[in-house]
Copies of this chain bind each other. A is one copy, B any other.
Amino acid sequence: MQYKISDKMAVMKPSAIREIFKSLGTPGAISFAAGNPAPESFPIEAIKEISANILENDAVTALQYSVTEGYPKLRALIKKRISEKFSVGTADDETIITSGGQQGIELACKALCNIGDAVICENPSFIGSLNSFRSNGARPVGVPLEDDGINIEKLEEALIAEGEKAKIIYVIPTFQNPAGITTSLEKRKKIYALAQKYDVVIIEDNPYGDLRFDGEDVPTIKSMDTDGRVIYCGSFSKILSAGMRIGFACANNELIQKMVVAKQVEDVHTNIFFQMVCAEYMEKYDLDAHIEKIRDLYRAKCHLMLDCLDKYMPEQLKFTRPEGGLFILCTLPGGIKLSDFIARASEQKVFVVPGTAFNCDESAPSDSFRLNYSMPSNEEIEKGIRILGDIIKDMLK
């Protein structure tokens, strides 16, 4: 049979990152490609205790169908936490539990975008979100990302150019993926003001917000949200476990209700057992102390990688210096072709993600690549960056 694939899916390719992830089994491979949290960041002993406890005392709840909105106790705990930590949530807002942070972004797009609508994004941006927009028939429209956040003039130009088609501004203001950049307070205010002026919704994607290891917190855009314009998405993937797939979104209740209906038809509800695990962890353990340990771990790993970049890379290679999160973005010196560099790195079994994967325009070129420091060991960081430095120096000859 010749399949007639839908227009929106016919153009879509598997995520380059997920594909790289599959080929990491090679012995001796050093991967800076994944976005995985460090395995040592999982509170395994606590999850073991909590799991045993749930299956002993409340197994039927954990194994039976549940409500689409999410486990009420977890929703209440999240509401309280994001209000205290990030000033997120008003009396008109509600919270939905999602199957990972990704689902919140996808549901928001599904609720708001028709075929051909524009989602205005930082360029580069997170490939998973870009693909979730594409899968809904929406177009990611890229606006250059600068050292302090999106280019505000170009953002306004894009909003004007797209007119009625512009439905959403999608940003990752804190420790951006792939760039590691944090949007300044001034730019956050300007992004919100532009969303008001052109009457669009903002999706504020904040999966790394808890992972600041240097500098000072910057207020969330959602904390400035006076008219219910911001959909705030978060996740437990980077602070408890990525595999359990627990995320959440907080937005005006009218939008959340549409996202609930959209979620009902995707997966009915998020696995209830791990919703209970999250709730019990938040209630009976010290999540903040646990996060503090992850920050210490990532601070050390990030600083080590930055030191290695300083030490092994030629001056001409530029890279970001994140204050949190999981990623550093490097920009190759002029004259080096990204695909040649990626090929040589892969030959030496060092894997990075080419910047092309994060482009809103999939056919656009890139001279950058993303490095992850949370997953590799210290030895791998030292060795891998040395190898990458040698390759670039050699290519500059």
A1-B252, A229-B1, A267-B103 known; A110+B9 contact, CB < 8 A? yes
Query: Which residue of B has the minimal Cβ distance to A13?
Result: B261
**A243 and B4: CB pair below 8 A?**
no
Q: Is A332 close to B, CB under 8 A?
A: no
Q: Is A82 close to B, CB under 8 A?
A: no
A111 to B7, CA, bound (A): 9
| Residues of A55-72 contacting chain B, CB below 8 A | 55-56, 59-68
Q: Is A242 close to B, CB under 8 A?
A: yes
Q: Is A42 close to B, CB under 8 A?
A: yes
| Residues of A26-53 contacting chain B, CB below 8 A | 34-37, 39, 42, 44, 47-48, 51-52
**B269 and A245: CB pair below 8 A?**
yes
**A245 and B268: CB pair below 8 A?**
yes
Among A128-136, A183-191, A300-308, A340-348, the one that faces the other chain is: A128-136
Q: Is A212 close to B, CB under 8 A?
A: no
**B243 and A65: CB pair below 8 A?**
yes
A245 to B100, CA, bound (A): 14
| Residues of A232-281 contacting chain B, CB below 8 A | 237, 241-245, 252, 254-255, 257-258, 260-262, 264-274
Q: Is A359 close to B, CB under 8 A?
A: no
What number of A residues sit within 8 Å (CB to CB) of B?
A: 88
A6-B110, A36-B65, A39-B60 known; A99+B44 contact, CB < 8 A? no
**B55 and A48: CB pair below 8 A?**
yes
User: What is the minimal beta-carbon distance from A110 to any residue of chain B, in angstroms?
Assistant: 6
**B55 and A51: CB pair below 8 A?**
yes
Query: Which residue of B has the minimal Cβ distance to A275?
Result: B243
Among A14-22, A143-151, A288-296, A312-320, the one that faces the other chain is: A14-22
User: What is the minimal beta-carbon distance from A53 to any residue of chain B, in angstroms?
Assistant: 11
A51 to B49, CA, bound (A): 11
A1-B227, A112-B5 known; A268+B100 contact, CB < 8 A? yes
A25 to B116, CA, bound (A): 43
Chain B CB within 10 Å, residue with most, of A117, A260, A264, A272: A264
User: What is the minimal beta-carbon distance from A397 to any residue of chain B, in angstroms?
Assistant: 38
**A64 and B262: CB pair below 8 A?**
no
Query: Which residue of B has the minimal Cβ distance to A131?
Result: B265
**B243 and A272: CB pair below 8 A?**
yes
Q: Is A76 close to B, CB under 8 A?
A: no
Residues of B within 8 A of A12 (CB): 258, 261-262
Q: Is A177 close to B, CB under 8 A?
A: no
User: What is the minimal beta-carbon distance from A360 to any residue of chain B, in angstroms?
Assistant: 15
Question: Which of B34, B63, B262, B269 interacts with A65 by CB under 8 Å?
Answer: B34
**B261 and A273: CB pair below 8 A?**
no
A273 to B270, CA, bound (A): 13
A265-B106, A266-B266 known; A3+B274 contact, CB < 8 A? no
Q: Is A283 close to B, CB under 8 A?
A: no
- 14 A-B pairs with CB atoms under 8 Å apart are A1-B199, A3-B112, A9-B111, A9-B261, A12-B258, A18-B268, A42-B63, A47-B55, A65-B237, A102-B266, A102-B268, A243-B271, A245-B268, A273-B273
